[in-house]
Structure 1
Amino acid sequence: MAPPVLLDQLLRERTAALLQSATDYRRYAHHLSSRLHHLRKTLKVRRRIPAKAGKSTSTAPADATATKYKPYVPTETELSSDKRFAGILLLAAERAWAHAMETKATMENNVAGAPERKQHILSRLAKARKHGAVLEAILLNPDSATNSFTDYEILQVVTYNALLAATGDIESRNYEKAVASYALAYTGLSGLVLALATPDASDDDNDMADLYSDLISSTVEPALKFSAIQIDSSSRSIAVLALAHKHLPTSPVDKLVLSIAKDETKAKELLSGKSDSADALSTMPTIQWRSHTAQLRDATVAAAIVAARAADETLFSEILFPSGHATKKLSLRDQALGFDFALLAWQDAVDAVHDAITEVTNSSINEPQKRVQELYVVSTYANYSLISRRIARDNVLVLQLRSALSKKQKKASTTRSVVNKSVASKVRAITGIYDTILQSIAQITELPGVAADEALSNALSSLQKYYTSLRLAMVASGFPQASVDASTYWKKAVDEVNSVDEIALNLDHIEDDDNAKILFNVDVPGSRKLLTAVADASQSHFEQAKISEEAKFEAEQNKGSQPFVIDTLTSAAMWVDKRTGKTKFVDLERLVDLEKFANLTPVPAKPVFFDTAFNFIGYEDGIEQEATAAAAASAGEPARGRGEAEISAPAQQEEKKTGWFWSR
């Protein structure tokens, strides 16, 4: 036998139908009509039954023909024998609700005929509520014989009928009835979640519990708070659980929740309206962020911050600042995973504050400016805490990747082609994390109130320079150590870390809280010393590589010839012994080793070389005339004048040129 059609099946069908537009609601209504027709056919019941036995006569009253038939209603006996008879009423109620939502969606797009359509919506919702009320009355009747329905199934019917009633009340703007109906629906849905969300629950039960929880958070809680605020504006600071308990009408829902809940403690908290989150306002009345103090007026925001601080206790005691007597040290991977709960809790706090600000801004009730300013202070506090823990988590991830990177670099000599790719991927990953940290710091600077805080702004500016230097150093490590890119990036990293103001980073005397310990707990002197040493080593390697490249270039240019002594002295006073392969320095005081030439005999020069050199020796005019006069005097010839010498010189030169080389 198929299971009965109850709230769980209707919620699944709503989710599967993806109800967003009027066309979706119309299609969903047609689907419900088809299901209702097949169910009636299966159970062999008619849509209408005769109002009276026998046929009506012509002499009957005028209204007798109008009440000739009446809608079919399952009896207690039928419901006891087969639970599927309840689906006839619930499917009819769901179909009427779908028709109402279709008309509402159409009215939002077309304002024409709004009063008639509004009346049609209210009539459809009233019809849906009527079907649900009939079934609820039968099931809650103490004298009823429908013992086949369990408390869980009865609570589904009561909760569904409360949802239909609340929808009709809020459409008619009857907020007093709407807040009571939503309080009943909130209690019923929370009880259903407590019955399903257990440690040993099946996947189907967990999925159904998620559907109930989504319905609570997306529809019931906002509508309950809205209706309560319309009645009393002071209800804004009351938790939803306390509001539901305050406006809960007299109903057997309490007994049903206690009977089906697996956790009796949580069930009593639900029905009493008191829990840790509901008492958060008394636990944390104010928020202190640096020099600003804000009063918490919203119970939801207070509960979220209390939960986030509770998650911080585990984070600080086990991961960030573990005690000295810890039995086991967590690995870097476990430390990174340990941030998840705190990050999720602070994200919930940020969302709660954002919703509170949106609600106050869009509310028709004029809120004082002081309340809005307090909410912005709380928003800055929550975002500041969230981003600080995110940066701390990113630092743990960097340590984890650096550890893996060092292992990969050690294997670079054995498997160079594979490891180089892995090293490059690790360098890119670490650089990306540093980019994320810099973006997070930029988000902090954009928070309300941070720009006006000079001390905090200076600290964030120095922190940004510090992480920028680490990012540049990581980029430099991705290049070969002797390359010009590595030397340039290392120099930029040193310049950035030297510009960090260590005094600005010390905010302990201004703010002694956990956020400052997490965010500004950096080792600037150690990083400066390390980066400077690595930058100097990289510059030295670069210069040596440059000298080697120049020597190699000159060797290629002068290939096959010996270099000049002057070039050897100015470039590098060293040479390599080809026999031993060792580098030796040149003895500049003994450029020529004469011992190597001790057993060699010099080669005598041939006379023809001297004759050739003599013929190319030139003299000045005066010296040549004196030599000619001296030769004439020795021969007994009279001296000639200047003119005669000039006349006879060409003849003599012409006579000497003839066979001047072979005549000697």
Structure 2
Amino acid sequence: MDITTFVIKHRDDALLVGDYNTYRTQLSRQLLAIRKRLSRSTPKTAKYTTKDAITAEQLGQNHEFAHLILLTAERAWAHAMRMKSTHAEDSTGQAISRSIRNHIVSRLNKAAKSAEELVTLLRDQTVTKASDIDVLEARAYLASITGAEEFEKQAEGQRSADAKASKHRWQKCLRGYSEARVIYAALLKETKKDVFREILANTVDPTIRYAAYQAHLPRTIAIATISKKNFPREDPWLVAAVERLDPDALRDEITPTPGKSWASLLSNSG
């Protein structure tokens, strides 16, 4: 299904010629077109009625149902990013108001719900014909959205001197982006696609580093180590699927102790 490529291409194509508002407008047009093709649109003369939920069977028969869910999530994400970028361009230097911050969070929450819907549908792989990579890409997309939502919930404050409280506040953000990082890194190793490398370098890794700083984690801890420690290991399918792509994806790195060389550690481990 190439979920990641589909999303990133849509973002890049729109942002190359416009801003987040341009992207949001394009998404609205694309969603209308897809709904018409899938017979899920409401005629202009008819009263709006809630559409039936998309099923795994529909997704397996036509991938445009997956695109419908993804573009719905992206439109909510673009709305949040538009509000955030508009404030960033404001020259007054004032902090984002609580009402605007809450609106940003609500749009990201809406995006996360759509992304979660896709993950839930794709997990029925016998019906949707989705591969493990399809499900992992959907999981990574969901994790990055939920991580962004948690980031916005905490980003209004200055770095607290209370290390314990800060670590607790930023835990959910770290958890979301850590899941995304481990999955994208495994996908990169398996597929060698540049799209995964770009996501890691431009979005995921910088956000993890900032959240780790806010959580009072030492700067000497590698981002890969932080992500492995905060990865949700309670999901057996997710852990197994990631390790099938990269057996070392969740393995702790060997750290040499003072007075011991890498060679001696490796020889002792054998």
- Within the candidate set 108, 112, 128, 1:129 is matched to 112
Separation (CA, whole Å) in 2 of partners of 1:28 and 1:35 = 10
Aligned residue for 1:272, secondary structure, equals: coil
Matched-pair contact (CA < 8 Å) for 1:129–1:164: yes
Matched-pair contact (CA < 8 Å) for 1:182–1:224: yes
AA at the equivalent of 2:243? L
Aligned to 1:464: none
Aligned to 2:249: 270
Matched-pair contact (CA < 8 Å) for 1:244–1:273: no
Q: Does 1:16 align with 2:1?
A: no
Matched-pair contact (CA < 8 Å) for 1:162–1:185: yes
Residue 105 (structure 1) shift:
0.7
Separation (CA, whole Å) in 2 of partners of 1:152 and 1:282 = 34
Aligned to 1:92: 72
AA at the equivalent of 1:180? R
TM-score using structure 1 length: 0.33
Q: Deviations over 1:82-125 (max 9, x none)?
A: 22211111110011100100010111233487222212111110
Matched-pair contact (CA < 8 Å) for 1:180–1:248: yes
**In angstroms, what is the RMSD of aligned CA positions?**
2.6
For residues 545-584 of structure 1, the aligned pairs below 5 Å read none
Aligned to 1:40: 35
Structure 1 residues 245 and 130: CA distance shift in structure 2, 3 A: same
Matched-pair contact (CA < 8 Å) for 2:57–2:128: no
Separation (CA, whole Å) in 2 of partners of 1:69 and 1:227 = 42
Aligned residue for 2:240, secondary structure, equals: helix
- Within the candidate set 227, 239, 250, 2:211 is matched to 227
Aligned to 1:80: 60
Structure 1 residues 100 and 41: CA distance shift in structure 2, 3 A: same
Aligned residue for 2:151, secondary structure, equals: helix
Residue 47 (structure 1) shift:
6.1
Matched-pair contact (CA < 8 Å) for 1:26–1:98: yes
Separation (CA, whole Å) in 2 of partners of 1:257 and 1:30 = 36
- Percent of counterpart pairs with the same letter? 27
AA at the equivalent of 1:161? L
TM-score using structure 2 length: 0.78
Aligned residue for 1:254, secondary structure, equals: helix
Q: Deviations over 1:619-644 (max 9, x none)?
A: xxxxxxxxxxxxxxxxxxxxxxxxxx
Structure 1 residues 212 and 283: CA distance shift in structure 2, 3 A: farther
Q: Deviations over 1:115-163 (max 9, x none)?
A: 222121111101000111111122225xx75341111111111110111
Residue 38 (structure 1) shift:
1.5
Count of matched residue pairs: 236
Residue 36 (structure 1) shift:
1.4
Q: Does 1:255 align with 2:234?
A: no
Aligned to 1:154: 135
Aligned residue for 2:249, secondary structure, equals: helix
Residue 284 (structure 1) shift:
8.4
Q: Deviations over 1:448-493 (max 9, x none)?
A: xxxxxxxxxxxxxxxxxxxxxxxxxxxxxxxxxxxxxxxxxxxxxx
For residues 426-445 of structure 1, the aligned pairs below 5 Å read none
Aligned to 2:145: 164
Q: Does 1:243 align with 2:243?
A: no
Residue 273 (structure 1) shift:
3.3
Q: Does 1:175 align with 2:170?
A: yes
Residue 25 (structure 1) shift:
0.5
Aligned to 1:646: none
AA at the equivalent of 1:26? N
Matched-pair contact (CA < 8 Å) for 2:56–2:128: no
Structure ranking higher on relative contact order (CA contacts 8 Å, 6+ apart): 2
Matched-pair contact (CA < 8 Å) for 1:5–1:86: no
Aligned to 2:166: none
AA at the equivalent of 1:114? S
Choose 1 or 2 for highest CA Rg. 1
Matched-pair contact (CA < 8 Å) for 2:147–2:172: yes
Separation (CA, whole Å) in 1 of partners of 2:194 and 2:204 = 14
Unaligned regions of 5+ residues in structure 2, if any?
155-168, 260-270
More displaced stretch, 96-105 vs 71-80: 71-80
Separation (CA, whole Å) in 2 of partners of 1:5 and 1:194 = 16
